[in-house]
A and B are shown apart, each in its own frame.
Chain A
């Protein structure tokens, strides 16, 4: 093993003591074990998914030769196997993550398969939302009983799809408030993951799955006051950004920080979208009514208060100078939104200026912290802003052309300067 050789060499050279060498060996041994364990878990889950889906497909063939009773009995077969496997895991392999995750995933799929097959046998019509809801409710306890994070991820996917189906149905159905309750039901598991296994892949997946689910599901409450949903989305992305910036375990890898990686581009994309005139013209012509019962207003208020609270917690011991530009976007937007109901042109101007400021501040931060990614992100914001204005301003092609050349050149120079600065240090 190469690491052992290296350690021996360091020991011989007198760079480390005997004790340090032993510690190093133990450290690498443990590291190797966890990584092989992770691999086993991944393959275990993959295997369970494949076998589960295979069984479902075989039964879904809808064997006409078999009687209704036989088909019905067969549809319970995967469920029974899954339950027996999970019971065995609980009895004998409770501390083995590979067993826990793979048997639970199998049972989770089997529950859905069983119900889908019965729907087929009795020629039931399609009602995917109701089907998903029953499936997820029957699967939810598995997250806690089996302590399975994969089940939790499947559950998150299922309830998100449920919320979308309910919310975007062509009929006027009640808003899917149930989704929010279902989402709350998974939070204890998520908190435990963050606390006990901050470095686990499952925790990282949850850091992505939860904000993604919320981003999709929030659109499902859109009704007649859907313009208010823009406030809700700004605040949601604000919540994500602040959470990702200050409230996740510090050891979270940048790529695992789904909150920040959704919150920040989400805010910028919304700002870009609203830097056009169409939205504000519409807002001025038919301003939303702030009547208390509307779900959009409720969402906007709850999310804005949450964002404000988080911002307060984040900033209370810090100087104003340390405030990151994107964290206050939601407050800025609420003000502009109210202003925009009567002065649409002013709102458009403010949004454009704000984007320019955010882009510039991001570039400055990138330069100060010597981070190429931040620097380029800032440049990208400015470039996107200019491209958007390409469509709706009456500037001549020459002006637009010069602007593009300038932005393109600034990309080159900023990156060049930073790389040069880096190699100099």
Chain B
């Protein structure tokens, strides 16, 4: 086995890459988690026909359509940079969308254009990179039911807490009237 050395060296290099890729992914997300600005995104009740997806909850956001002036320049599937601001109640609001990274700002994230109006109404519907909330497998179903129940009751405010920084976004939690979904589940279904 005299020629094992080059293979071992190559394998060592490979293991380093195999660690680097996920660690880099974690680093990027952790940075946003720790230092990103927190935004509260209102969740909208959408007909929950396909809500059961196993161990995550599908989230639909109220603030996900935006007016532009140039619908003919947009196509579904492309990347849009969404610059954020907040409304009077402190919830996230889209300030503008652009094809290029906004310069000199950090409160923006990358979204995908899901739909472009072609009737002159100049509307873009965006799909956000934080539309899934993973939970422990047995809790997810229960949580989802609670979540829908709360969403339908308009006296509750259901929102997602998202960290945003320089194009990256990290979903931190889903809250109902300021209480995390998880905590509501533990405290007897939030009654």
Contact = CB atoms under 8 A, between A and B. Distances in A.
Interface of A: 60-64, 72, 75-76, 79, 83, 86-87, 90-91, 94-95, 111, 114-115, 118, 120-126, 134, 138, 141-142, 145-146, 169-173
B22 A114 contact: yes
A326 B17 CA distance: 47
B133 interface: yes
Given A122-B25, A123-B132, A141-B14, 11 more contacts: A60-B137, A62-B135, A63-B136, A64-B136, A83-B18, A94-B1, A120-B56, A123-B56, A123-B133, A125-B129, A171-B75
A76 B182 CA distance: 25
A124 B14 contact: no
Given A125-B130, A125-B131, A86 B11 contact: yes
8 contacts: A62-B136, A72-B26, A87-B8, A94-B4, A114-B22, A118-B25, A138-B14, A172-B75
A370 to B, nearest CB: 51
A171 B136 contact: no
Nearest to B10: A145
B51 to A, nearest CB: 15
Contact of A123 (B10, B17, B78, B170): B170
B55 interface: yes
B29 A122 contact: yes
A171 B76 contact: yes
A76 B15 CA distance: 12
Contacts of B55: 60, 62
A118 B133 CA distance: 13
A126 B129 CA distance: 8
Contact of B139 (A64, A79, A87, A146): A64
A124 B22 CA distance: 13
B49 interface: no
Nearest to B160: A123
Contacts of A111: 18
B171 interface: yes
Contact of B4 (A62, A75, A90, A171): A90
A325 B136 CA distance: 60
Contacts of B78: 171
Given A118-B22, A118-B26, A91 B136 contact: no
A159 B130 CA distance: 26
Given A118-B26, A122-B170, A123-B132, A138 B17 contact: yes
Interface string B1-29: 10010011011001101110110011001
Interface of B: 1, 4, 7-8, 10-11, 14-15, 17-19, 21-22, 25-26, 29, 55-56, 75-78, 127-137, 139, 170-171, 182
A60 B138 CA distance: 12
Nearest to A141: B14
Given A87-B11, A125-B130, A172-B77, A138 B18 contact: yes
A134 B21 contact: yes
A169 B128 CA distance: 17
Contacts, number: 94
Contacts of A172: 75-77
A128 to B, nearest CB: 13
Contact of B132 (A86, A94, A126): A126
Contact of A115 (B8, B21, B75, B171): B21
B14 A145 contact: yes
Contacts of A64: 135-136, 139, 182
B130 A123 contact: yes
A303 B63 CA distance: 49
Contact of A91 (B8, B17, B56, B170): B8
Contact of B134 (A62, A134, A141): A62
B4 A79 contact: no
B9 to A, nearest CB: 10
Contacts of B29: 122, 124
Contacts of A63: 136
Contacts of A79: 18-19, 22
A126 B11 CA distance: 30
Contacts of A91: 4, 8
A173 B77 contact: yes
A177 B133 CA distance: 33
Contacts of B77: 169-173
A138 to B, nearest CB: 5
Nearest to B17: A138
Given A125-B130, A138-B21, A61 B11 contact: no
A91 B131 CA distance: 45
Q: What 7 pairs between A and B have smallest CB-CB spacing? A: A171-B77, A123-B171, A64-B136, A122-B29, A120-B134, A83-B15, A141-B14
Contacts of A126: 132
A72 B130 CA distance: 19
A142 B77 CA distance: 34
Given A115-B21, A138-B18, A172-B77, A61 B26 contact: no
A90 B18 contact: no
A220 to B, nearest CB: 16
Contacts of B75: 171-172
A142 B29 CA distance: 28
A90 B25 contact: no
Contacts of B137: 60-62
The residue in A114, A122, A138, A145 that gathers the most chain B C-beta atoms within 10 A of its C-beta is A122
A115 B4 CA distance: 29
Contacts of B132: 123-126
A297 to B, nearest CB: 23
